Amino acid sequence: MPATTCSIRFPRLLLTGAAGGLGRELRSRLKPHCDVLRLSDIADLGTAAPGEELAITPLEDRAAVLNLLEGVSAVVHLGGVSVETPWDPILQANIVGTYNLYEAARKQGVRRVVFASSNHVTGFYRQNEVIDADDPMRPDGLYGVSKAFGESLARFYFDRYGIETVALRIGSSFTAPRDRRMLATFMSYDDLERLVVASLTAPVVGYSVIYGMSDNRTKWWDNTKAAHIGYVPQDSSEPFRAEVEARQQTLDFNDPAVLYQGGPFVRTGPFE
Amino acid sequence: MPATTCSIRFPRLLLTGAAGGLGRELRSRLKPHCDVLRLSDIADLGTAAPGEELAITPLEDRAAVLNLLEGVSAVVHLGGVSVETPWDPILQANIVGTYNLYEAARKQGVRRVVFASSNHVTGFYRQNEVIDADDPMRPDGLYGVSKAFGESLARFYFDRYGIETVALRIGSSFTAPRDRRMLATFMSYDDLERLVVASLTAPVVGYSVIYGMSDNRTKWWDNTKAAHIGYVPQDSSEPFRAEVEARQQTLDFNDPAVLYQGGPFVRTGPFE
Amino acid sequence: MPATTCSIRFPRLLLTGAAGGLGRELRSRLKPHCDVLRLSDIADLGTAAPGEELAITPLEDRAAVLNLLEGVSAVVHLGGVSVETPWDPILQANIVGTYNLYEAARKQGVRRVVFASSNHVTGFYRQNEVIDADDPMRPDGLYGVSKAFGESLARFYFDRYGIETVALRIGSSFTAPRDRRMLATFMSYDDLERLVVASLTAPVVGYSVIYGMSDNRTKWWDNTKAAHIGYVPQDSSEPFRAEVEARQQTLDFNDPAVLYQGGPFVRTGPFE
Amino acid sequence: MPATTCSIRFPRLLLTGAAGGLGRELRSRLKPHCDVLRLSDIADLGTAAPGEELAITPLEDRAAVLNLLEGVSAVVHLGGVSVETPWDPILQANIVGTYNLYEAARKQGVRRVVFASSNHVTGFYRQNEVIDADDPMRPDGLYGVSKAFGESLARFYFDRYGIETVALRIGSSFTAPRDRRMLATFMSYDDLERLVVASLTAPVVGYSVIYGMSDNRTKWWDNTKAAHIGYVPQDSSEPFRAEVEARQQTLDFNDPAVLYQGGPFVRTGPFE
Amino acid sequence: MPATTCSIRFPRLLLTGAAGGLGRELRSRLKPHCDVLRLSDIADLGTAAPGEELAITPLEDRAAVLNLLEGVSAVVHLGGVSVETPWDPILQANIVGTYNLYEAARKQGVRRVVFASSNHVTGFYRQNEVIDADDPMRPDGLYGVSKAFGESLARFYFDRYGIETVALRIGSSFTAPRDRRMLATFMSYDDLERLVVASLTAPVVGYSVIYGMSDNRTKWWDNTKAAHIGYVPQDSSEPFRAEVEARQQTLDFNDPAVLYQGGPFVRTGPFE
Amino acid sequence: MPATTCSIRFPRLLLTGAAGGLGRELRSRLKPHCDVLRLSDIADLGTAAPGEELAITPLEDRAAVLNLLEGVSAVVHLGGVSVETPWDPILQANIVGTYNLYEAARKQGVRRVVFASSNHVTGFYRQNEVIDADDPMRPDGLYGVSKAFGESLARFYFDRYGIETVALRIGSSFTAPRDRRMLATFMSYDDLERLVVASLTAPVVGYSVIYGMSDNRTKWWDNTKAAHIGYVPQDSSEPFRAEVEARQQTLDFNDPAVLYQGGPFVRTGPFE
């Protein structure tokens, strides 16, 4: 059963990255909010359910992306590389790919994008700092830098062309938090759905940035300035705390992954 | 049944604008908090219930207002024009009238005023901005300008004469939100009562400004700096969301009323 | 010799309050910047020099003010009451009068107003505080409240109708500082000219607020956020310091006029 | 039954001030979180329960304090004077004593201190102001000054030696609020426990400051910037409101204890 | 004669983009500060003067850039596209090229980069706003987006690898301001030299951002937070004001180039 | 010849620490501003010149300090330890001593203290950060902690007893800067005099904090919020730059003294 009930209905939504972890979750959850759900990825998307349209589309293929956005009311853009990798795939999927997506939105007249950014655009803040979306970006890797690029690009497309974006700086969206860092960064799938639907249906978003997390007891991110989006998480990492802490009693304070919000990303790479 | 239980009791409260929409609601709700409730308006107030005193008082009548505040412990000032109109009635009721009210408070030794200001003092912020009471005022009409005047005047009467004011920047207080804008601005009557009673009974308020809204999922206003007043809303626009959104599926983004917090006020007038 | 050389020339400038202290100074100083200088006041303006137009115009006369702004390129609005007085003249000249002026600007298509606001909109800050134009207003009297009204109104006319305003929170513009407070608030007439000309000729001002003071050693006001106007004072109260301090060796710290930025205004009135 | 369940377990915790009001509460509540609970005070501590170690230790005795911290995993430092007194006991217990404690932590390799600071480091803010831990300190007495000293010292020991501290600016931790001021400052013992345990077990705290209060309706302190600690109060002063307000219907606004957050502390002393 | 005298001398400086407008100016001005000045560009660099090394190096050629940084003490990175163009050259020179440069710095052990960013990373602020380097970026085109990318990347290379960067958000560095916008954005070549030399020789810069402008009377940018760099401009656009204003008496307020800081960049493109 | 001319004259000024480096400088410079200059220290003060009173007074001697402040109009408090030392002398001179001084001021009715605090209260900020007096204190040693204590104490004596203080966070006041750090922290003796005299003679200072530095090109400290004091430095470290940089071409970035504002203080001690 979907976590959200909402009366706003879109003729055609596009979900990119639909074969990924979050994409598979959102596939069923977004369907009730639209007549047609177009799904794209470079990986296999299985069989189209009723009301679904499937497209295998490499984001770096400009023409293919232009076609992908034809007739679309709004985009949920999860596509691209989602972990720290060598530069070339990040360049192609996240930089060239996001440029292609916004250009296609401009040419096809799409008015709103929900852009999966990442907490890794600010991963070099310490775990004892509470930040908000106006604090300067401090990416923790090339992946984080590419998401910072995407946010800058989205801001430009709003200021120049009026295409609205909600940039979601997603924490850790899994079935459960896996370590003590995720007690702060965890976002349940139901809350992910709440966040995406609120971002799609809020009347006016301009260019807005919001951190994606559940109502966790431990918080690094202050979403006060994004309260206009109407995202109110209902879940929490708290039920998982005892188990997580039991598994990870001690921490190595010489490990930057312990000190910084980005966790292990801050010490991944360089790859050559 | 009143929404608040409170042990602070006033000998005599004055409620101006008692025949208006909010005044009629507060008439019964304030009675339990005082021995005598004095009610004033220029419209008919019906028959005085036990413990009520009625007065037909045009706010622009300086002498009448002076009399009105005699023997009063505190004032809830709802009186005046509450929508965008031509200048002259706003000038008389809201500018001259509010001056008369504060002068009367000074002369009669009244120590606290709960002043019904309005969200329209900041109506020219966009609906994707979250503001607080320290952000510069951006009124959306002559009505909003008159409320900004009232706030400046109140601040002066506190700094100079020690008369305390809580300025309530009221959103939309009705039985239910009427459109998608009101999903953010809605304040239930019970929450209105909570807000007014908290403003009357907080030990020290100095000059404070607070936005009047329920605990809505969509929020444009951050009341953190007014948390000392002790207003914690219990209601929400959320139960009305589905119906409101169903009625108003689409929005015209060329309409300033859609983009700005003030809604239709931002395009009302000029009247000549 | 005028203090400014500037190549921007206006077909017709209007200077209100032209018979007052600052108006008489600006009368000759603004002439080089326009083909026609229209001057208005309720007091005698003497004889029109070449290129001058004179008009006796009570600001509270709506029709007269509408006529006054006909054919005008920009307005320097000094008119109105400039000290703390009883309410009625302030209401008429500063509140009704400023409304009439902006309405006339709207109807006559005037695009920019340089509005003489006052440091008294923030006179209840202490003399050991440094503030800027974004700090909440704390007027020190009814005069200050009326200027706060003017600023709110000007902001609205920009947000709604695109009429630009520079609000000048003028300190003490005289030939010399008269007391120790004016070591902070002094603005020479040459600097006044520089400020007004910069406000008239800056390409884009939107709604801007700037404090009017010379480059005094003692500063209460931080104009950083108004640096886009291009006002750089050249004079200072410093040459007058020794004499002023010699005359006023000691201060009475029980006198609010000593503690607050507004000086004696903070204890003038009430008048009844 | 303890209010917290937590899987992080310390080999040996030290609780100073264990014979005081809060110390007696925490004695049983901290035991489940450690193998050994070492307790110190200058007053009688009774008999050691299983897993307890008792030490009578004057904080001003440098050598004794050095011994006290031997083998300790973390310290909860409640010891010292906790009310406004003449200077000498404050100097010895709170200034010399806190220095001794941090020096001992440095020499013994202790990595974290939970330091009982006080709301009295900011007691000279008004009761109608909402502040956070970054606002400048305004202590309301010598006691408050000594706690400000402790916070500065703790910050230095983190910046220089990496010893982490959470400074708890504790409000009023009793079984119930005793007056209207405590409707804002009240912290239940269960919430005290939650706060101390969260401070001990948060993965990274660096140097952090947090106000200690329950989830009271009236709030003077904004803990947003300390949300990384994971303290979420569960109690409130609200159930006590009616009784407290009934007992204290009126307030004397000439009494600084009514106006300032520090309450009666702001007018205690001087003692000679 | 160079504008700066400085006793800090580098064994080998690298200047990229040395054949461009600013590069040609800096070529002679940086020579006195180093034993060897290595110059690179894709355009012809003429003949090497004594102490110069020339290299034709496309920034998108990873291996060539790696070689280019061998043996270098510090880099002044002007290379790349410096105006709004179609995406592909920006992608290659400014995104891939800047990545190549920082990777080469990492591998070659270069400790400091002076990176020519641009005011166009914030070009969508209005000309009546004064901003500083902590305000969110609002790029005015793909060029501005690419410079925002460079800044994010530089921040990451400092946080992760300790490579220091001063990002210079250069205004308009020419022999003279060409239009009224440049009265605010103008930076003389002597001031450019002062800025670059200060950025190279300041003891500690971490990751710093500074706007590059002369001491113009009209200011949009507040460099207070970068005062540690020690850049104090000595020139000004003021001597050119009269001529510029005479040439451009009137402005078209319907032209976004007049309203926004980025000037004509805000309406350049899209190119397809 | 003194650097300041000022018409405000004090009957009796007290200068503590008069035998120290800064005290010897100020001894002759303060004399023109008072009828009697009382000088105290624990070291020899030589012979009293006309209008001088000499007193050997250990600051930790409460009774002696009480006597010292008898009949005094204002105090310039330089006395105490001024470098990082073991705890005990800091405790006695700077903590006990400063308490004794303020208690004596309270009992003797002295209304203003110019307190020599130190840049070492914020020495753990990095050299690439620009801070102001509202940023949280980060002392770099026990000396810095003791000055932080002095500031808290002074703030309390103003809030509670109305004794005004200007806390001077003095940089490096010598005849010339001695190393590259002092290019930022240098304050000439003439500027020291200007700062002390401005602090003594500003009409209202309440509790104010100001950094003591000359008009150096390199700046770490923003005194905007203290502009009401009227301190405008006239000197600069710039004339010494070439020589200082020549002597100290290279820096060891592994040395915390190079990275932090406090310089070598950040790595002095511990002493046992």
Q: Please check whether residue E135 lies inside any domain of the structure.
A: yes
Which H helix or E strand runs over C111? none
Buried b (16+ CB within 10 A) or exposed e, C14-43: bbbbbbbebbbbbbebbbebbebbbbbbbe
Answer yes or no: do B230 and D218 touch at CB < 8 A.
Answer: yes
Q: Which residue of B has its CA nearest to C266?
A: B160
How many structural domains are present in chain C?
A: 1
Q: How far is residue C83's CA from residue C17's CA, in Å, rounded to a whole number?
A: 13
Q: Which partners does chain C have (≥3 C-beta pairs < 8 Å)?
A: B, E, F
Name all contacts of B222-225 with Cβ < 8 Å and 24+ positions apart. Answer: B222/A224, B222/A227, B222/B130, B222/B131, B222/B132, B223/B132, B223/B133, B224/A224, B224/B132, B224/D130, B224/D222, B224/D224, B225/B132, B225/B133, B225/B134, B225/D130
> What average pLDDT score do residues D182-205 get?
98
Which H helix or E strand runs over D32? none
Q: What percent of chain F has pLDDT over 70?
A: 99
Q: How far is residue D90's CA from residue D146's CA, in Å, rounded to a whole number?
A: 7
Tell me the backbone φ, ψ of residue B106, rounded to 5 degrees: -60, -45
- Assess: ipTM above 0.90: yes
> What average pLDDT score do residues D127-132 get?
98
With contacts defined as CB-CB under 8 Å, which chain D residues touch A171? none
Chains C+F touching (3+ CB pairs under 8 Å): yes
Distance from CA of D268 to the nearest CA of B (A): 21
Q: How far is residue A228's CA from residue F111's CA, in Å, rounded to a whole number?
A: 50
F58-117 pLDDT, tens digit per residue, is 999 999 999 999 999 999 999 999 999 999 999 999 999 999 999 999 999 999 999 999
Q: How far is residue F126's CA from residue C183's CA, in Å, rounded to a whole number?
A: 36
Q: Which domain holds residue E151?
A: 10-267
Answer yes or no: do D230 and A180 touch at CB < 8 A.
Answer: no
CATH number for the domain including A72? Answer: 3.40.50.720
Token code pair at residue B231: 């207003």
Q: How far is residue F39's CA from residue F55's CA, in Å, rounded to a whole number?
A: 6
Tell me the backbone φ, ψ of residue E105, rounded to 5 degrees: -60, -45
pLDDT tens track of chain B, all 272 residues? Answer: 578 877 899 999 999 999 999 999 999 999 999 999 999 999 999 999 999 999 999 999 999 999 999 999 999 999 999 999 999 999 999 999 999 999 999 999 999 999 999 999 999 999 999 999 999 999 999 999 999 999 999 999 999 999 999 999 999 999 999 999 999 999 999 999 999 999 999 999 999 999 999 999 999 999 999 999 999 999 999 999 999 999 999 999 999 999 999 999 999 999 98
SS (H, E, C) D129-179: CCECCCCCCCCCCHHHHHHHHHHHHHHHHHHHHCCEEEEEEECECCCCCCC
Using alpha carbons, list the distances in angstroms from residue B201 to A152, B13, B168, D55, E226: 48, 12, 14, 48, 48
E contact test, residue of F122, F125, F128 with most E CBs within 10 A:
F128
Q: Please check whether residue A4 lies inside any domain of the structure.
A: no
* pLDDT at E1 > cutoff 70: no
A126-170 pLDDT, tens digit per residue, is 999 999 999 999 999 999 999 999 999 999 999 999 999 999 999
pLDDT of residue E5: 72
Q: Which residues does C115 contact at the CB level (< 8 Å), separation at least 6?
A: C77, C98, C150, C151, C154, C165, C166, C167, C168
Whether a cis peptide bond, with omega within 30° of 0, leads into D58 is no
Q: How far is residue A236's CA from residue F147's CA, in Å, rounded to a whole number?
A: 44
Name all contacts of B79-82 with Cβ < 8 Å and 24+ positions apart. Answer: B79/B16, B79/B17, B79/B20, B79/B40, B79/B41, B80/B16, B80/B17, B80/B146, B81/B143, B81/B146, B82/B17, B82/B20, B82/B116, B82/B118, B82/B143
Whether the Cβ atoms of residue F39 and residue F55 lie closer than 8 Å to each other: yes
B175-208 pLDDT, tens digit per residue, is 999 999 999 999 999 999 999 999 999 999 999 9
Q: How far is residue C53's CA from residue C34's CA, in Å, rounded to a whole number?
A: 12
Q: Please check whether residue D75 lies inside any domain of the structure.
A: yes
Q: Which pLDDT band holds residue E7 (cuts at 50, 70, 90)?
A: confident
Q: Which pLDDT band holds residue E3 (cuts at 50, 70, 90)?
A: confident
CB-CB: which of F242, F243, F259 is closest to E204? F259
Answer yes or no: do D160 and F141 touch at CB < 8 A.
Answer: yes
Q: Which residues does B5 contact at the CB level (< 8 Å), separation at least 6?
A: D242
Q: How far is residue C106's CA from residue E185's CA, in Å, rounded to a whole number?
A: 32
pLDDT of residue D3: 86
Pairing of strands A207-212, B74-77: unpaired
Q: Which residue of E has its CA nearest to A209?
A: E136
C237-258 pLDDT, tens digit per residue, is 999 999 999 999 999 999 999 9
Whether the Cβ atoms of residue C201 and residue C106 lie closer than 8 Å to each other: no
pLDDT of residue F2: 72
Whether the Cβ atoms of residue A98 and residue A63 lie closer than 8 Å to each other: no
Identify the CA nearest to B58 among candidates B27, B24, B16, B87: B16
Chain centroid to CA D29: 15
Token code pair at residue F271: 């002493």
Answer yes or no: do C259 and F205 touch at CB < 8 A.
Answer: no
In the three-class reduction of DSSP (H, G, I as helix; E, B as strand; rest coil), residue B35 is classed as strand
CB-CB: which of D127, D130, D217 is closest to B203? D127
C119-178 pLDDT, tens digit per residue, is 999 999 999 999 999 999 999 999 999 999 999 999 999 999 999 999 999 999 999 999
A55-105 pLDDT, tens digit per residue, is 999 999 999 999 999 999 999 999 999 999 999 999 999 999 999 999 999
Whether the Cβ atoms of residue C102 and residue C154 lie closer than 8 Å to each other: yes
E103-159 pLDDT, tens digit per residue, is 999 999 999 999 999 999 999 999 999 999 999 999 999 999 999 999 999 999 999
Q: Please check whether residue B1 lies inside any domain of the structure.
A: no
Token code pair at residue B59: 């706010």
Amino acid (1-letter code) at residue B181 = R
Q: How far is residue C46's CA from residue D143's CA, in Å, rounded to a whole number?
A: 69
CB-CB: which of D6, D204, D226 is closest to A245? D6
Chains D+A touching (3+ CB pairs under 8 Å): yes
Q: Which residue of D has its CA nearest to B111?
A: D253
Which residue spans within chain D are E strands per DSSP?
Answer: 10-16, 34-41, 52-56, 74-77, 112-118, 164-170, 207-212
Chains C+B touching (3+ CB pairs under 8 Å): yes
Q: Please check whether residue A2 lies inside any domain of the structure.
A: no
Q: Which partners does chain F have (≥3 C-beta pairs < 8 Å)?
A: C, D, E
Q: Please check whether residue E272 lies inside any domain of the structure.
A: no
Q: Which pLDDT band holds residue D1 (cuts at 50, 70, 90)?
A: low
pLDDT of residue D116: 98
Q: Which pLDDT band holds residue D5 (cuts at 50, 70, 90)?
A: confident
B117-135 pLDDT, tens digit per residue, is 999 999 999 999 999 999 9
F206-235 pLDDT, tens digit per residue, is 999 999 999 999 999 999 999 999 999 999
With contacts defined as CB-CB under 8 Å, which chain C residues touch B87? 99, 103
Whether the Cβ atoms of residue E176 and residue E240 lie closer than 8 Å to each other: yes
Q: How far is residue F33's CA from residue F196's CA, in Å, rounded to a whole number?
A: 11
Token code pair at residue F217: 């090109």
> What average pLDDT score do residues D204-228 get?
98
Q: How far is residue A119's CA from residue A134's CA, in Å, rounded to a whole number?
A: 13
Burial degree of F62 (CB within 10 A; 0-12, 13-18, 19+)? middle
Answer yes or no: do F206 and C128 touch at CB < 8 A.
Answer: yes
* pLDDT at E42 > cutoff 80: yes
Answer yes or no: do D127 and B201 touch at CB < 8 A.
Answer: no
Q: Which residues does B238 contact at the CB level (< 8 Å), separation at least 6?
A: B216, B217
C23-39 pLDDT, tens digit per residue, is 999 999 999 999 999 99
Pairing of strands B207-212, C10-16: unpaired
Answer yes or no: do B126 and A205 touch at CB < 8 A.
Answer: no
The DSSP 8-state label assigned to residue C90 in this structure reads I
**∠ at Cα A103 (A101, A105), nearest 5°?**
70
Q: How far is residue C180's CA from residue C244's CA, in Å, rounded to a whole number?
A: 6
Q: Please check whether residue B272 lies inside any domain of the structure.
A: no
pLDDT of residue A265: 97
Q: How far is residue C43's CA from residue A79's CA, in Å, rounded to a whole number?
A: 72
**∠ at Cα C31 (C26, C33), nearest 5°?**
105
The DSSP 8-state label assigned to residue F123 in this structure reads T
pLDDT of residue F7: 82
Evaluated on CA atoms F31, F36, F38, F39, the torsion sign reads positive
* D154: Cα within 13 Å, side-chain hemisphere: 30
Q: Please check whether residue C195 lies inside any domain of the structure.
A: yes
pLDDT of residue E4: 83
F115-159 pLDDT, tens digit per residue, is 999 999 999 999 999 999 999 999 999 999 999 999 999 999 999
D56-81 pLDDT, tens digit per residue, is 999 999 999 999 999 999 999 999 99
pLDDT of residue C4: 84
Q: Which pLDDT band holds residue E203 (cuts at 50, 70, 90)?
A: very high
Q: What percent of chain E has pLDDT over 70?
A: 99
Average pLDDT over all residues of chain E: 97
Which of C102, C125, C143, C260 is an active site residue?
A: C143
Using alpha carbons, list the distances in angstroms from residue E113 to E4, E15, E92, E106: 19, 10, 20, 11
Name all contacts of A39-44 with Cβ < 8 Å and 24+ positions apart. Answer: A39/A14, A39/A15, A40/A14, A40/A15, A40/A16, A40/A68, A40/A79, A41/A16, A41/A17, A41/A79, A43/A19, A44/A19
Whether the Cβ atoms of residue A270 and residue A263 lie closer than 8 Å to each other: no
Q: Which residue of D has its CA nearest to A243?
A: D7
Percent composition of chain A: helix, strand, coil (DSSP 3-state, to 5) = 40, 20, 40
Whether a cis peptide bond, with omega within 30° of 0, leads into A270 is yes
Which H helix or E strand runs over A143? helix A142-161
pLDDT of residue F4: 83
Q: How far is residue C27's CA from residue C34's CA, in Å, rounded to a whole number?
A: 11
Q: Which pLDDT band holds residue D2 (cuts at 50, 70, 90)?
A: confident
